[in-house]
Chain A
């Protein structure tokens, strides 16, 4: 039978080995999540709609000075022209506002600004939003063209990595307008 002294010694050795081994893997995991998140944000096309486009000599490109900050607050959109079928959707030149049968949607500010972006959000808020297609997991529905039916298939780990990366990008203060309902419903006063 081990004595108490021996038991304590073994416990200390085990604890020390965990402490030595614990920090570097944790840091490596965080770095890996950040890299994974950046990769996923890039290839999933988040910048296509959440970063305002600007016109360059090479054509329209995402303005990375306003990376992932959503529809610019200062750009007040007039009513969209009614498309002639089979055209259905109208997009702003910034590619951050879209008019269609659902009304008018504006892309969200994904930067970690606490008042206008995701700065106060938790990873649970983010995961539930994507998983349910509802704002914060329980509010209004997220509107097209946000590809919720595809993105809801991200794994929890992928979503956590994306959120980790989004919390690391430069803060941009930009209050995106609320979406507008379809003109027919607005006329009916709903």
Chain B
């Protein structure tokens, strides 16, 4: 069971530089060959100043940027074996382009333990990561719900 006293706790910030190649790699892994994600020239030809973020690029900021994420989630008392992803949400607050240096702060914003059948119970946690850019401007909020066996 996760530690309810940790609700509201934030972790030390992590930083990630937005890279063109990571955007292209994600688009191609998804099977999207839209040229705007392939390179700056292609993006500019379509009217963008540079390669735009893929709609789900923030997932790469978390996995590649926050190398302590797993130990941080474990420190909340979460059982990572068989953890399920329930929900993911992005709020896009301002433009983000390659070369931007983002700072992310992860916070456990909500959590509850739900009793299931046969005496088992599940932890349902809402984790938010707020990103600001190199100018201190809030640019993106990512929120995820994870479900873990207690």
Do A and B bind?
no
Give me the interface of B with A, judged by CB distance under 8 Å: none
Give me the interface of A with B, judged by CB distance under 8 Å: none
